[in-house]
Structure 1
């Protein structure tokens, strides 16, 4: 058995070691199964654990701001959340169609929670994701310009199936920042999906970008073929504190 276990580890089938040990400890359960049936169970165990580890790794790499799941979203009346739309988005079809999601609403409306829940669901579907606050994304892009890693960062961002940009519109973007953002979105246009989270209504996004020409280009790549979630109602933080969430 030690030799078999070592062979499993050599082949990087460590999960099968535990599954085989379980079969030995519960011999009465497995003795009547054929060799092929027992082998199939071992392989299923290995595949299951590999998939679970992959999802954990994807969520860790995404660095989501909140630990949120689709099942935890509250569909309170007057909140502006459409169950049918959310159910459709939960299937991940928008990712395969390379569509964007624009989430807007007042402070405390739960915008980031909804965005992170959608990203968490994407990871469950084995899609790569990455969360950024807009200011941090712009800082990273500016820094990469200085140290020569700009193209590498752009390539890394382009490869993500889902990019989440939070706190959009808190400050106006200068010429350089607008240029960085346009390059990121240009690389991703009709190739992958982006979730944008903002306190500002979409119709006011144009004002946050100094250069009107660049503003047109950025908004065209974001708004075209996008799903919009416009959250309304009382702050979910207040509801949570009062125990009525």
Structure 2
């Protein structure tokens, strides 16, 4: 790893440890408070507490860096800024489903360069830094740091693909595009959120399609997918995380999938 990113990755992993302690302590708590934002998406007291803990550590360790968080907002214009989604998969979290994660990324000059995805209830974590590959840990399997690599599937007819809630496709008037993709591929699921992007990075899925996503949903997975050998772009093929949509693939299938889903 380049020396300039080593301290930032180490910090991100330590912050993920702290975030895991907060989210785990409130997961399935009988007094968990669940509210609704103006857009009707849920937010729990754990979301806010986790983001506040991440911000507290960053303020102490990187006082000159800006922070953008899903719950507290922030700045993305600074040369260096961190993007945090305290709980990606809040709907799962609020219902006691263990598929949720804290997402943390460092963005430098507009490019995500460090990413950590930590899912404590699954006993899993995925992380990467630019130019040095992507890795995962798995508590159940006793794995501390295994390298990640995307699949080698090159034929769309053999592809295993995933999306999120079908309502997102309906809202943008593009449900027929997702249906067309499922009909052209071997198998489809709706794993959603962070989970299908890291499954692409692991080589277990070949493509993950997000018709509705924010920068905090995508910054960390983008680093992991790219360092595992894949691609994450918007639906036009541009390398960006702020378009409100994303396609991650093993790379070999990227242009083919774009040909089906792009407007």
What band does the TM-score fall into relative to the shorter chain? under 0.3
Q: Which has the higher strand share?
A: 2
Length-normalised TM-score, structure 2: 0.27
Higher relative contact order (CA 8 A, sep 6+): 1
